[in-house]
Copies of this chain bind each other. A is one copy, B any other.
Amino acid sequence: MRYAILGSGAVGGLYGGRLAQAGHDVHFLLHSDYDQVAERGLRIDSVRGDFVVTAPNIYRDAADMPPCDVVIVALKSTNNHLLAGLLPQLIGEHGVVLSLQNGLDVEAAAIAAAPGHGVLGGCCFLCSNKVGPGHIRHLDYGRIVFGLYQEGAEGTDWTLERGEQILADMVGAGIDAQWTDDLAAARWRKLMWNIPFNGLSVVLDAATDEIMASPAARSLAETMIQEVFQGAASCGVSIDESAIATTMKHTETMVPYDSSMRLDFLHGRAMEVDAIFGSPLRAVTQELSRKRKTGENSVHPMPSVAMLHQQLQFLDSRPRQTSNPAS
């Protein structure tokens, strides 16, 4: 299968790089990093072993890329408006999109941009940052959990087949990839981390270790994890309750980590506020109003998450200085 990688940052650079290193036919669309990658290749410093993809297939323009069977979308979701211009140029016959973005329902943009194509979504549980042009630093963890975004949509059969092939390619390339029949559960499971730790890291200007070391901030994070857990349940998504404690424990034992949202904030870039906060809050609110109509009233409206969302909206919308204008 031929892969296109849109977004060669912490996620696309790492997983695209692993697929390319394993000998797969991988094509990277690059923007600001093109010259450096052309000169020095794609460099991955990883806890699982460092490597450099010395001569990757790279492009400045999607129009120059060959039709691909799998388009991995690893752009920031704030750039999803670009997909309408990119996907039709890239995606081959029976090609599928695999969105590895943070948030909920981030696949909707791909559905709209590539009608008739299958869309898969995946969650990446890892600590990884882009530390320079074409230079990824993978610090901890690394699992991808992916599955079908729309059950029963047209082309589900061959989309599932593509999913199996992707899984085989990834596992063969040494990626800790897993298929899931319940993408929504994986998305909400990941939100249990992203919502508290992306959000609080920005508002409190703190890395994960500082949050976990403070009784007040730690308790706040746990409250939010519980709210997200309840929010998922109210949307009919079932997650094992042990995930609450596991999320806290994993964060405690992980390397001190600057979340992607914090790095975006510090570097003056748009933050994924709507995908990570707005979208799940809307999902829960919709369930809330639906159930109220039918006489039920058991939905938790995630009050702390809603407040953090408003704080982030404020911080995201105002002009801010970049601490590192070069990034």
Contacts and interface: CB of A to CB of B under 8 A. Distances in A.
A17 to B, nearest CB: 37
A214 B317 contact: yes
A303 interface: yes
A274 to B, nearest CB: 12
A318 interface: yes
Interface string A189-229: 00000000000100110100011001111011001000000
Counting contact residues on chain A (CB < 8 A from B), the size range is 20 to 34
B318 A214 contact: yes
Interface stretch (A104-112, A284-292, A306-314): A306-314
A216 B314 contact: yes
A313 to B, nearest CB: 4
B311 A203 contact: yes
A304 interface: yes
A315 interface: yes
Interface of A is mostly: helix
Contact of A310 (B210, B216, B309, B313): B216
Nearest to A313: B216
A204 B215 CA distance: 21
A206 B313 CA distance: 13
Given A303-B303, A307-B307, A315 B220 contact: no
A70 to B, nearest CB: 38
A318 B210 contact: yes
A204 B304 CA distance: 16
Contacts of A307: 220, 223, 303-304, 307-308
B220 A311 contact: yes
A313 B303 CA distance: 19
Which of A217, A304, A314, A318 has the most C-beta atoms of chain B within 10 angstroms of its own C-beta?
A314
Given A203-B203, A210-B318, A318-B210, A217 B311 contact: yes
10 contacts: A206-B314, A210-B318, A214-B313, A214-B314, A216-B309, A216-B311, A220-B307, A220-B311, A303-B303, A304-B307
